[in-house]
Amino acid sequence: MLEISNLHVAVNGTPILKGIDLTVRAGEVHAVMGPNGSGKSTLAHVIAGREGYEVTAGEIRYLDRNLLELAPEERARAGIFLAFQYPVEIPGVANIQLLKSALNQVRRARGEAELDAMDFLDYVQTRLALVGMKEELLYRSINEGFSGGEKKRNEILQMAVLEPRLAILDETDSGLDIDALKAVADGVNALRSHERAMVLVTHYQRLLNYIRPDRVHVLAAGRMVKSGGPELASELEERGYGWLDTTAEVGEARA
């Protein structure tokens, strides 16, 4: 589904990603971990198509298309969803307004009929229940004045509504209380299917206790320095990143 090869990315001329390879197949869940500033969010933003990131080498293919050619909205309509690490506040635009326009755009792209107001509301109700969010938040401006946890839940609500094929969750678990974490995990698990793929960017094992990943990768200083099965996450939790030689080439580990 997603194939990233030798991806190099620079911001304002400074190289941030220095040769990333990553393949995600339909039905898989991948976890990406790594120290602060290693480039995880950069990778997520490049996949979603944010401006200001120069791809200096390499490519990203998604469902056999060249992803880098598509505008952000085209990527979204093709089924890519990014849950932001820092969700943006948009005063004056109601949450529900965004959900409705976005859903109908995506449905149109999928060749489905647009939902009318009634059907849309019914549909949103089912999704609200899934992520355990207060209905009141639907009518407030997007993320404005939301608590940290509410913002993260709102991202998951949008994901649940849009039903993407590839979801990238950038630290959606940070700053959540236990119940919220559970709700986010439930939301993710409910969407898990053999035709959907997920990439979870996280610092903590605790999310992975609820959502078992198929693969775990460690990103450090712009490179994937280690990949492994779910057990790698617990190892990282115990030992930190220090034991990995983050300056060395892919996969090399110090004793």
Partner 1 sequence: MRIAQEDRAAYVAAGRSAMEAGPSWLKLDRHEALENFFRAGFPAREAEAWKYTSLAALERQQLHSPAPGVEFLPDGLPAGHLLGYGNGYALSRSSALPESMLGRLDAALARTTLPAAARFGTLAGRESMLVALNTALWREGLVLHLPAQWRVDEPIFVVRTIDEDGAMVHERSLIVLEPGAEATVVELCNGRGDYWRNPVTEIFVGAQARLLYVRLVEDGVAATHTGALFARQAQDSRLDVLSLALGGQLTRQDIALDLAGAGASATLHGCFLAGGRAHVDHHTRIEHTAAHTQSREIFRGIAAGRGCGVFDGLIVVRPGAQKADAQQSSRNLLLSPHAEIDAKPQLEIYADDVKCGHGATVGRLDESQVFYLRSRGIGDAQARALLTHAFALEACAAVAPGTLRDWLTQRLDGALDRLVEGGRK
Residues that bind Mg ion (CB under 5 A): 40-41, 85
Q: Where are the alpha helices (DSSP H) in the chain?
A: 40-48, 72-77, 95-110, 117-131, 148-162, 178-191, 205-210, 231-239
39 binds ligand ATP (CB under 6 A): yes
Q: Please tell me whether residue 41 binds ligand ATP under the rule CB under 6 A.
A: yes
Q: Which does 36 bind (CB under 5 to 8 A by kind): ligand ATP, partner 1, Mg ion, none?
A: ligand ATP
Query: Is residue 13 a contact residue for ligand ATP (CB under 6 A)?
Result: no
Q: Are the beta carbons of 16 and 7 closer than 8 angstroms?
A: no
Specify the stretch interacting with ligand ATP by CB under 6 A; choose among 8-16, 58-66, 139-147, 156-164: 8-16
Q: What is the dihedral of CA 175, 84, 210, 246, to 10 degrees?
A: -90
Least distance CB 18 / ligand ATP (angstroms):
11
Instruction: Tell how far CA 205 is from the center of its chain.
Output: 17
Residue 35 or 132 having the CB closest to ligand ATP: 35
Per partner kind, with CB cut-offs from 5 to 8 A, the member of partner 1, Mg ion, ligand ATP, none near residue 115 is: none
Helices (H) and strands (E) in the chain, counts: 8, 12
Nearer to Mg ion, 16 or 103 (CB): 16
By CB under 6 A, residue 127 contacts ligand ATP: no
**Residues in contact with ligand ATP, shown as a per-residue x/- string from 81 to 110 under the rule CB under 6 A:** ----x-------------------------
Q: Are strands 54-62 and 2-11 parallel, antiparallel or unpaired?
A: antiparallel
Residue 16 found at the interface with ligand ATP (CB under 6 A): yes
In the complex, what is the shortest distance from the CB of residue 40 to Mg ion, in angstroms, rounded to a whole number? 5
Tell me the Ramachandran region of residue 251: left when phi exceeds 0, alpha when psi lies from -120 to 50, beta otherwise.
Answer: left
Binds 118: which of ligand ATP, Mg ion, partner 1, none (CB < 5-8 Å by kind): none
238 binds, among ligand ATP, Mg ion, partner 1, none (CB under 5 to 8 A by kind): none
Please provide the DSSP assignment of 119-166 as one string: HHHHHHHHHHHHHT--GGGGGSEETTT--HHHHHHHHHHHHHHH--SE
Q: Kindly state the smallest distance separating residue 129's Cβ from ligand ATP, in Å.
A: 30
Cα–Cα dist 28/236, whole Å:
21
- C-alpha dihedral sign at 143, 146, 152, 158: negative
Pairing state between β 197-201 and 80-83: unpaired
Rounded to a whole number of angstroms, the minimum distance from the CB of residue 70 to partner 1 is 11
CA distance 198 to 211: 10
* Contact partner at residue 187 from ligand ATP, Mg ion, partner 1, none, CB < 5 to 8 Å by partner kind: none
Q: Is 37 in the site for ligand ATP (CB under 6 A)?
A: yes
Q: List residues binding ligand ATP (CB under 6 A).
A: 11-12, 16, 34, 36-42, 52, 85
